[in-house]
Amino acid sequence: MSADAQLSARMDPACPMAAFPFHVGGKWTGMVVVALLDGPRRFGHLRQVLGVSSAKVLTETLRDMARDGLLTRTDHQANPPHVTYELTDLGRSLLPVIDAMREWSDQHLADLLAHRQNHSLATESDAAPTPSSPPK
Amino acid sequence: MSADAQLSARMDPACPMAAFPFHVGGKWTGMVVVALLDGPRRFGHLRQVLGVSSAKVLTETLRDMARDGLLTRTDHQANPPHVTYELTDLGRSLLPVIDAMREWSDQHLADLLAHRQNHSLATESDAAPTPSSPPK
DNA sequence: CGGCATCCTATGAGATACTG
DNA sequence: CAGTATCTCATAGGATGCCG
């Protein structure tokens, strides 16, 4: 399975960052890591795959990550411009943590969202029995 | 080692969240989890241990966490007020992820900070040889 | 194509003062 | 003691337009 497919499958709107209790750096940092797992990628490619709206945001994310040694920026000095970004070992070192987040998400995110849902309805009325997730 | 001691030792200003590339929920969420590992704690206790300046911030954090089922709030109906917060199983389920973050921090945070430092000095001048961290 | 420059807005975070 | 009520401020995120 390609990293791009993983991205769509695991980090798509169905599992929104909004409810996700973990973040890596900025909003897009974690996704950039995943998107670069298969090798160098171009700016435009990242922009499409991540679905990042504004170019500015992606530029900032990538610059910060380069500054922190998480990836390298390669300007191929071509015209039209051709720039690629590639994960460093340090960048790849984030993967176990990201995977830990994903594993948590697989196992517990639905539970968290159920609690949140439940809470909106019955702020104090009854005991609000846990809607899903019987304790293992 | 108590969770409180862990808190001071591992999440103190010497390892500031500012440079820490991971976050759990809000700024204080992760620390609340760690602070509650040893059992229920009172509002004031949390406020002291975490060093959270404003009561509002802690209140918000705790309310959000309760809403998400990460902890429970118990009002002991006493005067003066006595309220305790206790982790749920769901709240405890965050621990492996937090530990993964800490492990990453132990192994790579210094490296990241070195890169960051280096980058401020030589934005483009020379090749900026990696200051520390020979590849493994 | 891969950016900057500019502007805008929502939100997080905190300070301070007050209350049951 | 455990909050609530306001207010401020900084920053992240995003929209749009221009440039080499």
pLDDT in tens, B84-124: 999 999 999 999 999 999 999 989 999 999 999 888 766 44
pLDDT in tens, A111-123: 999 999 888 766 5
**Please, what is the angle between helix B43-50 and helix B3-10, to 10°?**
30
Contact A22 B22 (CB under 8 A): yes
Mean pLDDT of chain A: 83
User: Nearest-CA neighbor of A61 among A36, A97, A95, A89?
Assistant: A36
Query: A120-124, B59-63, B68-72: lowest mean pLDDT where?
Result: A120-124
Task: Specify which residue's alpha carbon is closest to the C1' of nucleotide D12.
Answer: A26
More confident residue, A96 or B121: A96
pLDDT given at position B133: 41
Is the predicted pLDDT of residue B9 greater than 70, yes or no? no
Residue A132 lies in a domain: no
Residues B115/A69, Cβ–Cβ less than 8 Å: yes
Residue A28 lies in a domain: yes
Nucleotide nearest to B53 (CA to C1'): C14
Q: Residue type for A100, please? A: A
Number of independent structural domains in chain B? 1
Residue A118 lies in a domain: no
Residues of B with CB under 8 A from a CB of A: 21-25, 29, 66-70, 89-90, 93-94, 96-97, 100-101, 104, 107-108, 111-112, 114-116, 119, 130, 133, 135
User: Nearest-CA neighbor of B7 among B41, B39, B43, B51?
Assistant: B51
Contact A97 B100 (CB under 8 A): yes
In this structure, the number of other CB atoms found within 10 A of the CB of residue A89 comes to: 13
Question: What percent of chain A is modeled with pLDDT above 70?
Answer: 76
Residue B87 lies in a domain: yes
Q: Residue B93: its chain A contacts at CB < 8 A?
A: 104, 107-108
Question: Is strand C within 7 Å of residue B53 (CB)?
Answer: yes
Question: Is strand C within 7 Å of residue A23 (CB)?
Answer: no
CATH number at residue A37: 1.10.10.10
Question: What percent of chain B is modeled with pLDDT above 70?
Answer: 75
Contact A104 B94 (CB under 8 A): yes
Question: Is strand D within 7 Å of residue B82 (CB)?
Answer: yes
Residues B35/B85, Cβ–Cβ less than 8 Å: no
Q: Residue A69: its chain B contacts at CB < 8 A?
A: 111-112, 114-116, 130
Residue A1 lies in a domain: yes
Residue A131 lies in a domain: no
Strand order in the sheet with A41-42: A41-42, A83-87, A71-75
Residues A116/A19, Cβ–Cβ less than 8 Å: yes
Rounded CA-CA distance B39/B4 in Å is 11
pLDDT in tens, A34-81: 999 999 999 999 999 998 889 999 999 999 999 999 999 999 999 999
Q: Residue B67: its chain A contacts at CB < 8 A?
A: 115-116, 119
Question: Is strand C within 7 Å of residue B32 (CB)?
Answer: no
More confident residue, B21 or A90: A90
Residue A76 lies in a domain: yes
Residue B122 lies in a domain: no
The residue range of the domain holding B69 is 1-11+23-99
pLDDT in tens, B15-30: 556 678 899 999 999 9
Is the predicted pLDDT of residue A129 greater than 60, yes or no? no
Residues A95/A37, Cβ–Cβ less than 8 Å: yes
pLDDT given at position B17: 67
